[in-house]
Amino acid sequence: MVLNTPVNPPEPISYAQAAVRAVQHEMELDANVVVLGEDVGRGGIFGQYAGLQQQFGAQRVIDAPISEAAIMGAGVGMALAGLRPVVEMRVVDFALCGMDEIVNQAAKNRFMFGGQGRVPLVARMPGGIWDASAAQHSQSLEAWFAHLPGLVVVCPSTPQDNYSLLRAALQSGDPVIYIEHKTLWGAQGVVDEALQIQLGQAAIRRSGSALTLVSWSRQALVCAQACDALAAEGIDVELIDLRSIWPWDRERVLTSCNKTGRLLVVHEAVQVAGFGAEIAATAAEATGCRVKRLGAPRIPVGYSAVLEAQSRISAEAVAAAVRSMLP
């Protein structure tokens, strides 16, 4: 008699632990993968590099002085010299100090030199509203980077996505702006380390026929809460988590819009000139569906909880926007 040995399901890990594993595995596979940034030796301010300097040494996990311009410039130089650096900006707000290196060097090099140079770096820039951290530490700037030819832009929302997409970013060969949400580091989820996710591939988190709801990063999780509430009312919404802002999954979004005839794009970023406008315009031109955007007001994020709440897009606001588009 042969007894079947039960297989224990994998234990959930955090969004931060998933990122550590992704970088660790790429560093084990490729000696050219290095990490550069402030506080990376002690594991990063969110624990997203925990244990890596102890495993790989200070020559591959390199602590840098407080100068984002110097860090990004060094990362671009490393990439052009054949390394594959993970460049840590601490938060996306601080990356503004290194924008020239990103905009005029990393993004343009491959084009300006006819492909002779490549900049295979991953710039990690945690983004989004950071609780009680005010205007200079709570910005969502993914649309800025999506506007720049030559950059890939990624915004993972789950531990699985953070693992698979970070590995894909490190393997891509082009500069990737990798924006993890500042408040998702402790989020738990099961991670299948064999699962590969292509850059530019969206996820259908929920199927439905009443309306297509598109979001990304932490806001996709808020939209999922709205979908649960709407489902209790008999409204079946199709929720698409974009995951990659550039390239974005036009085919999957447009297929859904053709099915539902309605599109609502929701993002945590300021609504004015946000990336939701690009998605809405593309869908309207291609399918003729009804479109609506929902984003933050054009105000700095406040420090107090009352002011901060004005910049957040709640599940209740998302559900109300959905209802407003239905017959």
- Mean pLDDT of all residues in 73-85: 97
Q: Are residues 50 and 164 in the same domain?
A: yes
Smallest CA-to-CA distance from 276 within 211, 214, 202 is with 214
Q: Are residues 234 and 313 in the same domain?
A: yes
Q: Are residues 172 and 241 in the same domain?
A: no
pLDDT tens column, 124-137: 999 999 999 999 99
Q: What is the CATH number for 166?
A: 3.40.50.970
**Cβ atoms within 10 A of the Cβ of 25, count?**
16
306 close to 320: Cβ distance less than 8 angstroms: no
Q: Distance between CA atoms of 266 and 276, rounded to whole angstroms?
A: 7
Q: Is 22 helix (H, G, I), strand (E, B) or coil?
A: helix
The last residue of one of the domains, among 189, 222, 256, is: 189
Instruction: Please check whether residue 300 lies inside any domain of the structure.
Output: yes
- Mean pLDDT of all residues in 289-303: 97
Q: Are residues 163 and 276 in the same domain?
A: no
Q: What is the CATH number for 264?
A: 3.40.50.920
Q: Are residues 45 and 120 in the same domain?
A: yes
Q: Are residues 207 and 115 in the same domain?
A: no
Q: Is 132 helix (H, G, I), strand (E, B) or coil?
A: coil
Q: Distance between CA atoms of 284 and 54, rounded to whole angstroms?
A: 52
Instruction: Please check whether residue 1 lies inside any domain of the structure.
Output: no
316 close to 228: Cβ distance less than 8 angstroms: no
Instruction: Please check whether residue 194 lies inside any domain of the structure.
Output: no
Please tell me whether the peptide bond between 149 and the residue prior to it is cis, using omega within 30 degrees of 0: no
H or E, element range at 229: helix 217-231
The whole domain housing 101 covers 14-189
DSSP one-letter code for 97: G
pLDDT tens column, 269-286: 999 999 999 999 999 999
Instruction: Please check whether residue 169 lies inside any domain of the structure.
Output: yes
The last residue of one of the domains, among 189, 211, 235, is: 189
In the chain, the number of structural domains is 2
Q: Are residues 41 and 178 in the same domain?
A: yes
Q: Are residues 153 and 257 in the same domain?
A: no
DSSP one-letter code for 127: B
H or E, element range at 56: helix 52-56
Instruction: Please check whether residue 126 lies inside any domain of the structure.
Output: yes
- Mean pLDDT of all residues in 194-221: 98
Q: In terms of DSSP bridges, do strands 13-14 and 188-189 run parallel, antiparallel, or are they unpaired?
A: antiparallel
- Mean pLDDT of all residues in 59-79: 97
Q: Are residues 117 and 254 in the same domain?
A: no
Instruction: Please check whether residue 312 lies inside any domain of the structure.
Output: yes
pLDDT at 8 over 80: no
Q: Are residues 169 and 233 in the same domain?
A: no
Q: In the chain, pLDDT over 70 holds for what percent of residues?
A: 98
Q: In terms of DSSP bridges, do strands 84-88 and 33-37 run parallel, antiparallel, or are they unpaired?
A: parallel
Instruction: Please check whether residue 196 lies inside any domain of the structure.
Output: no
The model's pTM: 0.95
The last residue of one of the domains, among 157, 189, 221, is: 189
Residues serving a catalytic function are: 137
Q: Are residues 21 and 167 in the same domain?
A: yes
If phi over 0 gives left and psi between -120 and 50 gives alpha, with beta otherwise, what is residue 51?
Answer: left
Q: Are residues 251 and 278 in the same domain?
A: yes
How much is the mean pLDDT over the chain?
96
Instruction: Please check whether residue 195 lies inside any domain of the structure.
Output: no
